[in-house]
Amino acid sequence: MAAARLPLIIGDARVDTPEWFPVDDRATGAVMAEVAAGRPEDVDRAVAAARAALPAWDALGPLGRAAVMTKYAHVLDAHQGEIAELIHHEEGKPIGEAQAEVARACEVVHHFAGEAERLWTRQLPGANLSTGSIVRPAPIGVVAAITPWNFPVALVLWKLGPAMAAGCTMIVKPAIEAPLAARRLCDLATEAGVPDGVISCITGDGPILGEALCTHSGVDKVAFTGSRRVAEQIAAWASPRLKALSLELGGHGALLVLDDADLDVAAEVALMQGYANCGQACYAVNRVLVPRHLEADFLNRLRPGIAALNLGPMATDRGRDRHAMLMDDARAKGATVEGGALLDGNYVEPALVTNAGPGVLLVDEEPFTPVVVVMPYDDLDAAVAEVNRPDYGLVSYLCGGDSRRTLETAQRIECGTVAVNGWRVVVPYAPYAGWKGSGIGAELGQPGLDAFIRWQHLRVLA
Ligand code: NAD
């Protein structure tokens, strides 16, 4: 039976294209569906639909939008299982992880529906109530959301939730490697009664659509999550028109273990964040810094967890090939690599690396594969310097006993997020921000909403 063909979603239309991209099941290689290969003229049409929808969506006001968003969030909730299945197959994430991604992402839409209700205009009265300063949050306008394959639902809803609350309209451009779940989110907006044109979805080639969106005069903001390399290209395209930009990029996360830490908790953090989603996470633990006298004890607590892992396939062929290259590089430079073999199909064996330092690719570049490098330290200041060494600053982890020393050390870590004595890092109400080479701007929390607002001061003098 031929695979289903999924058209572009543009306003109230479902648009076929001359060419289509197959989307494979990562575990079996079977074609799950074909998605439309959008062209620059389709981007023009989607931008026109988004611009046309903008005035009425803004005029609905915060309470009106909150009501629509709440309905949308409930429709998403009702389809959580179906969306998680799509992620599980197109990206390869184990079903439990896919379900968790969808559940947490739906909470973000509920959260920002609530935030919309609290979007107040402020007035500073003048000599009388009809004069003074009115400061109102206006939507930035039409937003292009360009998202990666590793959290294909979360990273759309982190943008869509606050953008809708602020009164923006959005064109979602998911990664071609895993577009099905993201596209389904947009399809369900119609069922939820979201007005046509508020959410469109254009699938297709990243560079072609990226250039069309980022250079388009009708796009006011680009909200991008992905690699540093592509971010630089997007910023260059967006700069001649000085478009608003938010860039959420990669990381090189460290877990710093203090000498009074609970080593079982530390081992759990390394296991959960080093190997979840096959290590293909921007918030992954890539390096563990542990006091030298505790290294052997820590490794002994970590190894059984690694042996019991049941990883899904790698999400991309190039990620699987890169896994092999990184293991070879580490061995060639004298590191000790436990595991790390290529398995059948798209599967790889998780790895644990010791005797590695700067100069080994795994230690310097975002690995994006299931591996943790354990590095012993003798001096805490030197360990903090190593945590901060890479030109990344997204998420790091810290385990310690004495709370004052632990928190003081946490503040020395140059990352937008530092998780202390645990691994669950993302909540809808706190910002998720990349420092240094990990990005510009923030998602989630109040800053994540402000990112879709432009402030207007109405100075009423008479
Ligand atoms: P990527 O940069 O290759 O792709 C991201 C998006 O850009 C996709 O939609 C892709 O189609 C598009 N794209 C690719 N090449 C393009 C080009 N030349 N011009 C315009 N658009 C292009 O990233 P990826 O491999 O999909 O995702 C992995 C990266 O994303 C990692 O670096 C990871 O750390 C990062 N990431 C960051 C966060 C965060 O919140 N900071 C979250 C998840 C992933």
Tokens representing residue 88 in the block: 């599980």
Note the pLDDT tens digit of each residue in 364-423.
999 999 999 999 999 999 999 999 999 999 999 999 999 999 999 999 999 999 999 999
pLDDT value of residue 121:
83
> Does 368 share its domain with 416?
yes
Instruction: Measure the CA–CA gap between 448 and 431, rounded to whole angstroms.
Output: 6
Determine whether the shortest distance from the Cβ of 147 to ligand 1 is under 6 A: yes
> Does 342 share its domain with 416?
yes
Cα 313 to chain center, whole Å? 20
Determine whether the shortest distance from the Cβ of 133 to ligand 1 is under 6 A: no
pLDDT value of residue 151:
98
Give the phi and the psi of residue 83 in degrees, each rounded to 5.
-65, -40
CA separation (Å) from 377 to 1, 291, 293, 423? 58, 5, 9, 22
Tokens representing residue 86 in the block: 């799509």
Give the phi and the psi of residue 336 in degrees, each rounded to 5.
-100, 120
> Does 304 share its domain with 217?
no
> Does 66 share its domain with 206?
yes
Beta strands in 369-422 (DSSP E): 371-377, 395-399, 417-420
CA separation (Å) from 229 to 86, 156, 339, 366, 438? 28, 20, 30, 12, 11
- What percentage of the chain has pLDDT greater than the value 70? 100
CA separation (Å) from 430 to 156, 375, 379, 412? 17, 30, 32, 19
Tokens representing residue 361 in the block: 């690719």
Helix, strand, coil percent values for the chain (each to nearest 5) = 45, 25, 35
User: Is 432 contained in some domain?
Assistant: no
Instruction: Give the distance (Å) from ligand 1 centre to CA of residue 462.
Output: 51
Token look-up 């994540």 returns 448
Tokens representing residue 244 in the block: 């608003």
> Does 196 share its domain with 305?
no
CATH number of the domain to which 141 belongs = 3.40.605.10
> Does 232 share its domain with 281?
no
Q: Is 93 in contact with 140 (CB distance < 8 Å)?
A: no
Q: What range defines the domain where residue 390 resides?
A: 253-427
| Dihedral sign, Cα of residue 200, residue 201, residue 206, residue 208 | negative
> Does 143 share its domain with 190?
yes
Token look-up 């575990």 returns 27
> Does 207 share its domain with 60?
yes
Instruction: Give the distance (Å) from ligand 1 centre to CA of residue 184.
Output: 20
Q: pLDDT band at residue 269, thresholds of 50, 70 and 90?
A: very high
> Does 67 share its domain with 180?
yes
Ligand 1: which of 23, 35, 146, 176 to mutate, most ligand atoms within 8 Å of CB?
146
Note the pLDDT tens digit of each residue in 62-104.
999 999 999 999 999 999 999 999 999 999 999 999 999 999 9
Q: Is 179 in contact with 203 (CB distance < 8 Å)?
A: yes
Instruction: Give the distance (Å) from ligand 1 centre to CA of residue 66.
Output: 30
Q: Which long-range contacts (CB under 8 A, 24 or more apart) does 78-81 make?
A: 79/184, 79/188, 80/106
84-88, 118-122, 210-214, 240-244: the lowest-pLDDT one: 118-122
User: What is the pLDDT of the chain when averaged over all its residues?
Assistant: 97
Determine whether the shortest distance from the Cβ of 206 to ligand 1 is under 6 A: yes
Nearest CA to ligand 1 atom 42: 282
Tally the domains of the chain: 2
pLDDT value of residue 204:
98
At 349 the three-state DSSP class reads coil
CATH number of the domain to which 312 belongs = 3.40.309.10
User: Is 216 contained in some domain?
Assistant: yes
Q: Is the pLDDT of residue 122 over 90?
A: no
User: Is 239 contained in some domain?
Assistant: yes
Note the pLDDT tens digit of each residue in 162-182.
999 999 999 999 999 999 999
Instruction: Give the distance (Å) from ligand 1 centre to CA of residue 395.
Output: 17
Q: Is the pLDDT of residue 340 over 80?
A: yes
Burial letters for 379-409: b for 16+ Cβ neighbours within 10 Å, e otherwise? ebeebbebbbebebbbbbbbbbeeeeebeeb
Nearest CA to ligand 1 atom 22: 206
H/E/C letters for each residue in 79-91?
Answer: CHHHHHHHHHHHH
> Does 353 share its domain with 238?
no
pLDDT value of residue 1:
65
Q: Is the pLDDT of residue 424 over 90?
A: yes
User: Is 441 contained in some domain?
Assistant: yes
> Does 197 share its domain with 340?
no
Report which ligand 1 atom has the smallest distance to the Cα of 176: 11
Instruction: Give the distance (Å) from ligand 1 centre to CA of residue 459.
Output: 42
> Does 451 share its domain with 337?
no
Note the pLDDT tens digit of each residue in 19-41.
999 999 999 999 999 999 999 99
Nearest CA to ligand 1 atom 26: 148
| Dihedral sign, Cα of residue 35, residue 37, residue 40, residue 45 | negative
Q: pLDDT band at residue 129, thresholds of 50, 70 and 90?
A: confident
Positions annotated as catalytic residues are 248, 282
